[in-house]
A and B are shown apart, each in its own frame.
Chain A
Amino acid sequence: MPGTDALSRLQSTGQFALELEAVSRHFGALVALADVNMSVKAGERRAVLGSNGAGKTTLFNAITGDFPTTTGRVRLFGEDVTDLPSHERIRRGLRRTYQISLLFNGLTVLDNTYLACRGVSRGRFSLRRPKQDDSSMELAESLLEAVHLDDVKDKQVAELSYGQQRQLEIALALSGAPRLILFDEPAAGLSPTERTLLVEILQSLPAHIGFIIIEHDMDVALKVSEKVTMMHNGRIFKEGTPEEIENDAEVQELYLGHGGGHG
């Protein structure tokens, strides 16, 4: 598997990709995140589950800095980034996708991906048109191939189907050299075939790339993750391996509903 060496090197230093320390986020009187402590090892694949309003997306926003935290510290790869703006956190190897696709509708698929690749490298202010053999452009082309969008790369994003937009969303998150990716419900609204494709893409990621995935589809979530965090009312409710979570009585009662099981 590609990246295994890098992974073992990372893990031998005992570094965490992400550490949250007593992170809270209040919207007025509403407590969206309460005192969340969480550590994700480098290269770890983590699923975050919970009902609507459990604070999952707010958790992502706190990690990326889309919204500031009310209290608590956020550390990325051992560095305290609580006071850094979003774009600085991204340049340190963090990526995310959005629950509702946030793409650049007026630009082509290739330009969208190109910008994503360029965002974490030099030359963001270049007034020259990117050449065909530009490194970011080549990277963008290969990313589009990886998510099976290479045949629509010259189309405008607005012309893409919903499923294709979700795929592009993932391509943008894979750009540059990500070390930790946050996937916010990547399977929402996808057809069964597209879901299979998504699981394939996630499982084929190099081992040194860790990710956290919010997903309601248990099939997808439990298949791609090695550890699961359950959230409830803005708090972490349970943490464990997929099997432990699946077989936990409390969890079954709360989320898996009548009779348990999934699918």
Chain B
Amino acid sequence: MDSRRLFSGSFSLKNIHPSVLITAVFLVAYPSFATDFFIFQIGAYSLILGTIALSLMMLAGYGGMVSLAQLTVAGLAAYLMAILGDNSMGVMGLGWPWWLTVIVSVLGAALFSTFIGAVSVRTEGIYTIMITLAVAVAFFYFVRQNYVLFNGFTGFAGVEPPTLFGVYWRDPVPFYYLSLVVAVGFFAAVSYCARSTFGLGLQAIRDNPRRMRALGYNVTLHRIVAYFFSGIVAGVGGVLLVWFNGRVSPGTVGVDVAIDILVIAVVGGMRHPIGPFLGAIAFVLLENFAIDLIDRERFNMVIGAAFLLVVLFSPDGLLGLWNRVRDRLRFRGNAQLSAERVNKDDPASSGSLEKS
């Protein structure tokens, strides 16, 4: 609700919820007190995974289309960066200027996403998952077996962001801010567009495709366009991912990782664009530190168990958990307020909750 007001056009500082300000200050100041490991491996990586999961949240949360191929779309952008730009493997690496490489990679990813949308939008629910899973698996095996374009099993290494304005953008602090700008930018764009004509239409199609047809909407086209936009988000996520890793290989686009993206989105919560980022932070923290809680062979069990608990106790993820806690606190607060009023025997107690 607060974010709805925040992006409603009449933008004023007074409308900003304190929690938004605190989060913003924290995110900007984060590199000043965190170690390089926390800035890069935890901070930047969470933002990148969050961005890719955001592209899934757009489709699933607003459009009701669960696609398992979002990582594949990001992966294609990552591969295109290595193929069109520079890499250290001596295969492909056409050496295009960095800005052209980025634009073509992202657009290529978006077109690929549009194609996935075109073949899957006529299906619903489990069948969408199956088709997109098939695309993900096919892409994984294709890049692993194709040596001419994708350099097969080894993939590419030595893919680096450009040095611009005298800054080496792969250093932890600059890269963190780069990821932050991208993540916040897409977060704001998705929040805004959710209330646009296109976004409202997409949510209406999720609620009731048949009625949307009866109102004159081309439901199929609307869904495919949603895939295009989500492809742009995933594609930019993929560009950051290849700069983060410095490399891309079939392992980057494996089915296990594709499922991780789904887990991040589900655990974070699909009702609001902040969900995927919450899920990504939880995922990255667990992935890095579960190993400290239990021995090497069993740490995946801790991750699995943690996510199972979240989904079990809160079907709408961490976001739902937070909302429930907040509602309970608010309820208690209101109860206290009204109790105070009754004690004071305030004559105006039947009206509003405002204290004069």
Contact = CB atoms under 8 A, between A and B. Distances in A.
Interface in B7-30: 8-9
A144 B183 CA distance: 39
B215 A106 contact: no
B36 interface: no
Contact of B215 (A85, A107, A123, A175): A175
A130 B194 CA distance: 11
Interface string A96-115: 10100011111100011011
In this complex, which of A96, A105, A118 has the most chain B Cβ atoms within 10 angstroms of its Cβ? A118
Contacts of A119: 212, 215-217
Nearest to B189: A127
A69 interface: no
Nearest to B229: A127
B198 interface: yes
Interface string A168-182: 000010011000000
B198 A124 contact: yes
A87 B196 contact: no
In this complex, which of A64, A111, A123, A125 has the most chain B Cβ atoms within 10 angstroms of its Cβ? A125
Given A104-B208, A106-B203, A129-B8, A116 B198 contact: no
Interface string A65-96: 01000000000000000000111001100011
Contact of B214 (A86, A118, A125): A86
A102 B200 contact: no
Given A90-B214, A91-B216, A115-B201, A125 B222 contact: yes
B207 A104 contact: yes
In this complex, which of A103, A104, A116, A126 has the most chain B Cβ atoms within 10 angstroms of its Cβ? A104
B5 interface: no
Contacts of A104: 203-204, 207-208, 211
Nearest to B221: A125
A125 B197 CA distance: 6
Nearest to A134: B197
Contacts of B201: 115, 118, 124
Interface residues of A, number: 36
Contacts of A172: 211, 215
B310 to A, nearest CB: 23
B210 A87 contact: no
A127 B193 contact: yes
Contact of B211 (A98, A106, A128, A129): A98
In this complex, which of A124, A130, A176 has the most chain B Cβ atoms within 10 angstroms of its Cβ? A124
Contacts of B211: 98, 102-104, 172
A129 B218 CA distance: 20
A106 B9 contact: no
A126 B215 contact: no
B225 interface: yes
B195 interface: yes
B275 to A, nearest CB: 15
B187 to A, nearest CB: 15
A95 B215 CA distance: 7
Contacts of A112: 204
A147 interface: no
B330 interface: no
A198 interface: no
B216 A176 contact: yes
A18 interface: no
A66 B210 CA distance: 8
A129 B208 contact: no
Interface string A45-74: 000000000000000000010100000000
A120 interface: yes
Nearest to A105: B207
Interface in A23-60: none
B206 interface: yes
A125 B210 contact: no
Contacts of A176: 216
Given A123-B197, A125-B198, A129-B8, A102 B219 contact: no
B192 interface: yes
B214 to A, nearest CB: 6
Please list the 7 inter-chain residue pairs (A to B) with the smallest Cβ-Cβ separation, ordered nearest first: A119-B216, A119-B215, A90-B216, A102-B211, A86-B213, A104-B207, A104-B204
Given A90-B213, A102-B208, A102-B210, 15 more contacts: A90-B216, A98-B211, A102-B214, A106-B207, A107-B203, A107-B204, A115-B200, A115-B201, A115-B212, A119-B212, A119-B217, A124-B218, A125-B225, A127-B198, A130-B196
Interface of A: 64, 66, 85-87, 90-91, 95-96, 98, 102-107, 111-112, 114-116, 118-120, 123-131, 172, 175-176
Interface of B: 8-9, 192-193, 195-201, 203-204, 206-208, 210-219, 222, 225
27 contacts: A64-B214, A66-B213, A86-B214, A87-B216, A87-B217, A90-B214, A90-B215, A90-B216, A95-B214, A102-B210, A102-B211, A104-B207, A107-B203, A107-B204, A111-B204, A119-B217, A120-B215, A124-B198, A124-B201, A124-B222, A125-B197, A125-B225, A126-B196, A126-B197, A130-B196, A172-B211, A175-B215
